[in-house]
Homo-oligomer: A and B are copies of this chain.
Amino acid sequence: MDDQDRPERPRVGVVGLGAMGLGMARSLRAAGYHVGVHDLRPEVAAGFAREGGTAFASVGELAAGVDVLVGVVVNAAQVDAVLFGPDGAADRLRPGAVFVMCSTVDPGWSAALEERLAEKGVLYLDAPMSGGVARAAAGELTMMTSGAAAAYAVADPVLEAMSSTVYRLGDRAGPGSKVKIVNQLLAGVHIAAAAEAMALGIKAGVPADALYEVITHSAGNSWMFENRMAHVLAGDYTPLSAVDIFVKDLGLVLDSARPERFPLPLAATAHQMFLQASGAGLGAEDDSAVIKIFPGVELPGPKPTEG
């Protein structure tokens, strides 16, 4: 397609087709976008191509043809590889294209990334998200964004297609990631607290389903209690988000505060609980499996399949 007659709708690519990225690519398709994708696992990208997208063998090839490149990878190291690795996107994106960074990263690192890309004429949005796999697939994420007006001017319709709410938190990178850090602190502590509280109640002899019913209608409720303790009730630890994600994210929360000498007693304690779970071999299970660190608790088993 010739730049001269570029349509109003930006050309969009998605890098990273994990549970979140795949849902986001699909919700962009559902919104009418033609979506190019790349993933380190070629078979995953090929699967999306069979749904009607276009798979690219390298990030660079994908980047060369888009106005907006959405990065949905696990951490800062992977973002770095996407942009600056072999055949990376930073040298292939056209001047004025936008890289939308959706990972949970250190806010200072995100701010520096904006400057590194500016040297190449590439615009940047600091755009972590919240909402989980189901909302990603429905195009109903909450996005915590900040960046320059010029970046929003290009990427806005893409953000809108993936999200029910796009918060604009500032005119440069940093605030988006700062708010995501605050959210992950709460999310991690709430999952660990839900596990601690449910374990205590079950140990005391209260049926797990009664605990769930009462707490979800009381002042002790949280979004995470309601969502994750349903997995415990079902005895289903299939990872939607894994224990090791919170080992990483709470580690990032703590690292972000340490240079400021800012104490985070609850985040530190919850981090230890996820480390204990991961060290016990539960790292790849659903994050609600942190409840298994508590001793002598008879947890609900998996529901029998009908036969």
A144 at the binding interface (Cβ < 8 Å): yes
Q: Which of B182, B198, B206, B220 contacts A223 (CB under 8 A)?
A: B220
The reply to whether B197 and A182 contact each other, CB–CB distance below 8 Å, is yes
The reply to whether B223 and A221 contact each other, CB–CB distance below 8 Å, is yes
Contacts of A218 in B (CB 8 A): 130-131, 142, 144, 183, 223
A179 at the binding interface (Cβ < 8 Å): yes
Q: Which range holds the interface residue count of chain A? A: 35 or more
Interface segment out of the listed A12-20, A44-52, A67-75, A187-195: A187-195
A6 at the binding interface (Cβ < 8 Å): no
Contacts of A221 in B (CB 8 A): 186, 222-223
* Chain B, Cβ-Cβ closest to A183: B220
- Nearest chain B CB to A2's CB is how many angstroms away? 40
- Nearest chain B CB to A62's CB is how many angstroms away? 29
Contacts of A184 in B (CB 8 A): 220
- Nearest chain B CB to A251's CB is how many angstroms away? 15
Q: Which of B142, B186, B194, B198 contacts A225 (CB under 8 A)?
A: B186
Q: Mark A139-175, 1 if CB is under 8 A from B, else 0.
A: 0001010000000000000000000010101000001
The reply to whether A204 and B107 contact each other, CB–CB distance below 8 Å, is yes
- Nearest chain B CB to A80's CB is how many angstroms away? 22
The reply to whether A167 and B215 contact each other, CB–CB distance below 8 Å, is no
Contacts of A260 in B (CB 8 A): 203
* Chain B, Cβ-Cβ closest to A216: B223
Q: Mark A112-150, 1 if CB is under 8 A from B, else 0.
A: 000000000000000000111000000000101000000
The reply to whether A206 and B182 contact each other, CB–CB distance below 8 Å, is yes
Interface segment out of the listed A24-32, A83-91, A266-274, A298-306: A266-274
Q: Mark A203-241, 1 if CB is under 8 A from B, else 0.
A: 111100011011101111111110100000000000000
Q: Which of B185, B189, B201, B214 contacts A142 (CB under 8 A)?
A: B214
Q: Which 9 A-B pairs have the closest CB atoms?
A: A186-B220, A222-B222, A183-B220, A130-B218, A182-B201, A189-B193, A269-B269, A178-B204, A221-B223
Listed by A's residue number, 8 A-B pairs whose Cβ atoms lie within 8 Å are A175-B210, A179-B211, A182-B198, A204-B256, A218-B223, A220-B223, A220-B224, A265-B269
